[in-house]
Structure 1
Amino acid sequence: MLTRRLFLRPALAGLAWPLLPRAAHAGAQVEEPLADSVRTALTSAIANSAPPVPVFGDTEARLKYLRWLGAMSSRLMARKSDWNERREFLQTVWYESRRAGLEPSLVLGLINVESAFRKFAVSPVGARGYMQVMPFWTRLIGNGDPSSLFHMQTNLRFGCVILRHYLDREAGDLYLALGRYNGSRGRPAYPNAVFRSTKRWEWTHADRG
């Protein structure tokens, strides 16, 4: 179960759930000064262009991932009908979330709330893509091209790295980190929406077979 503090776990659980609502509740990260060391670390995390290809230490780990992929694919089918598109998206979410030390269900829950799984979503304040990343981040730690945020892996990588950054700033307090991600720090509506959505993407013992 997700709490205010986030700890990476090897696998999550989830129950069957109804179709996701179409409404999204995108907000906006607020541009803040970054220490040089933080900017350098974030830039390095974004610049690493390793492809999102899962690597497994043994057959059991690979099978666990494939069962997760199958369970999440069936839940996402209403939003992405093409299997190859679903597979690529979920593989990238899995890769980028784990790379950032986040739970995949959290990232999927946040995407649902932020963009309702729309790749080209743009908020009234200009946040872009699946994870509704503000364009100023491309200037601070990226290549300076806001259009790159419509690229799937780029958007997911930025979003995961930024959320990890906010978690570190908030000493692991997920409630405050989510509020900071949405530009509504200290107000409960957004974190609570993400917590509720995350539960829909948890991976249960029933899913694992």
Structure 2
Amino acid sequence: MEPRLIFANPADAEVWLSAMSERLKKRIPDEFVRRKLLTAIHYEATRAGLDPQLVMGLIHVESGFNRYAVSVVGARGLMQVMPFWQRSIGSAEHNLFDMNTNLRYGCTILRHYLDRENGDYFRALGRYNGSLGKAEYPNLVHGAWKNGYDWQSPSNGLVAQK
């Protein structure tokens, strides 16, 4: 099954996709690839109960939207997932460079840390990065989220008039 956008108001889906696509145009020039990635981000974030724009901020900081990124400690893909998570929440056969797999793992891990930290994004992001108690990483993600990928639904709060 291909990931799909999940919006209460279907018209918002295309508005969101267009807005986010424009923001990623320089990083991902191919429109088809960009839209496919954005759809997968929105799907996996929503599935995990996360704000898709937060996930985009995290990806911006972690990999710069490079799905083949590898950190000096071995974290892989868009969301820089450490391979040990394959044993914990998945399977050793899972390819962490696969876009959908990496997003599923990364969103599941962030959700796990948010639950563990009772919804405290600052602490959850610190755990995600292995820098709990330090402000730099959570502040970077928050800045990317709010300054680069923040979005409000144009229909948010609007009620149809009779």
Whether TM-score is above 0.5 comes out as: yes
- Identical pairs, percent: 54
CA shift digits 1:75-118 (9 cap, x unpaired): 10001111100110000000000000000110000000000110
Contact 1:139 1:145 (C-alpha < 8 Å) held by counterparts: no
TM-score normalized by the length of structure 2: 0.90
Aligned length: 155
CA shift digits 1:113-166 (9 cap, x unpaired): 0001101000000000000000001111211136x0000000001000000000
Distance 1:56 1:89 in 2: 17
Q: Which residue of 1 aligns with 2:160?
A: none
For 1:110-189, list aligned pairs within 5 A.
110-145=58-93, 148-189=95-136
Runs of 5+ consecutive residues of structure 2 not aligned to the other structure: 157-162
CA shift digits 1:29-70 (9 cap, x unpaired): xxxxxxxxxxxxxxxxxxxxx53123566xxx1110110000
Q: Give the partner amino acid of 1:177.
A: A
Q: CA-atom RMSD, angstroms? A: 1.8
Distance 2:118 2:150 in 1: 24
Q: Which residue of 2 aligns with 1:41?
A: none
Distance 2:16 2:39 in 1: 10
Shift of 1:168: 0.3
| 2:65 paired with 1:103 | no
TM-score normalized by the length of structure 1: 0.70
Q: 1:123 to 1:62 in 2, by over 3 A?
A: same
Between 1:75-84 and 1:196-205, the stretch displaced more is 196-205
Contact 1:54 1:91 (C-alpha < 8 Å) held by counterparts: yes
